[in-house]
Amino acid sequence: MDLNDTPEQAAYRSEVRAWLDQNASHAPHERGTGDDAEAVAAHRAWQRRLAEARYVGVTWPAEHGGGGRGPLEQVIVNQEISRKGVPGILDVIGVGMLGPTIIAHGNDAQKQRYLGPMLHGDEVWCQLFSEPAAGSDLAGVQCRAKRDDDGGWRITGQKVWTTNAQFSAFGLILARTDADVAKHKGLTMFIVPMDAAGVTIVPLRQISGEPEFNEVFFDDVRLEPGSEVGAVNGGWGVALTTLMFERLTIGAGSEGLGYRADRFAAALASDEAASADSEVRREFGELASELLALRFNGYRLLTALSRGQIPGPEAGLGKVTAVNAAIAAGDLIADVLGPDALAEGEWADLISFLPGLKSAGGTEEILRNTIGERVLGLPPEPRLDKGVPFSELRAKERQEVKA
């Protein structure tokens, strides 16, 4: 029992722990999912086993195959999976971000068709948002969707930094459907089959050697009528839902991702001289405090979610803190353990993976600006357009915020 558990939560934790004790032998190894078909299949099977026990999509409504429980029960599942040392689900993006978006904005037919296979790992999903010239400035996407006479659509353009595209069945894509209105207002969200004619996926290998991200090209890709999620030209609001759940997943789910103070402490304690060093202890104390603050901030966000609220811009603070604290922990472990920490293994994976995560869900600079403007009410920063007076830039920014 966790010290913060209610009696009901303690009983649920015991149930989850007992199930994991009985089923952990079926779990795959943590590593090797990028372009390893056998590993992907093993992770799919593990997600399916978890889903059948209702430990995937714990907060999803039961009618969609979820657990029908609260966010704190999801935290318990994440904690117990991490404590057992087995991997979580394969499709974190689908279940954590895209599924909730379809639940919030999709129609009944879309919910019926896509949510069950997503939960069980039968159909993995990817998030098709960023472009070479539109990453953190997501409203600047230029990938175009043109309507056919029968109500279908044609997608043309490019996406980049797309996780899991190489083995995804579907993607949720943000495309421009009206170029003649303000950039936030001319966007629509679509479901796109990743095996459709005209879709080309090009892996981007990270420093770890894994194809963590991909470029995806769309050459006149045909989408059937009814592929839209939400209203036509209402995609910005749909995308914000996805982004808020993305930041909540990274921030509040940091323990499930393995960013825990006890895990880092165990690595540091393996070197007696270093663990007794006052400077090492001071640095670890600082990052452990950050991780503890992150845990309780995550509880605050989850409480809001349990009351039916969609995560707001403040969820970005959890993402910033989780990534920066984990990077600091990796750096400290590398300093203490030396080159051995960079050899093949868990710390090498973490250290090489985390820099890319800094950009996922928006860069730190963009997130801090968003929180400053939308939470603290600070004035927006003007864009530095050449030849335009500062006063005009400020007025233009204010008009866009009001819009």
Just list the catalytic residues: 246
Could you tell me the end-to-end alpha-carbon distance of the chain, in angstroms, rounded to an integer?
Answer: 49
- At residue 23, the 3 state secondary structure works out as helix
Task: Name residues whose C-beta falls within 8 Å of residue 168's C-beta, 6 or more positions apart in sequence.
Answer: 124, 125, 126, 194
Contact 241, 310 (CB under 8 A): yes
Distance separating alpha carbons of residues 46 and 216, to the nearest angstrom: 27
Query: Do the Cβ atoms of 29 and 43 come closer than 8 Å?
Result: no
Describe the crossing of helices 235-252 and 315-337 by its angle, rounded to 10 degrees.
40
308: left (phi over 0), alpha (psi -120 to 50) or beta: left
Contacts of 172 (CB under 8 A, 6+ apart): 98, 101, 102, 125, 126, 127, 128, 189, 190, 191, 192, 229, 242
Q: How far is CA 213 from the centre of its chain?
A: 13
Which has the closest alpha carbon to 193: 242, 123, 111? 123
118: left (phi over 0), alpha (psi -120 to 50) or beta: alpha
Contacts of 145 (CB under 8 A, 6+ apart): 153, 154, 155, 175, 176, 177, 188, 190, 223
∠360-400-130 over CA atoms, to 5°? 20
The one-character DSSP state at 382 is P
Q: How far apart are CA 124 and CA 168, in angstroms?
A: 5
Token output for 115:
């949510």
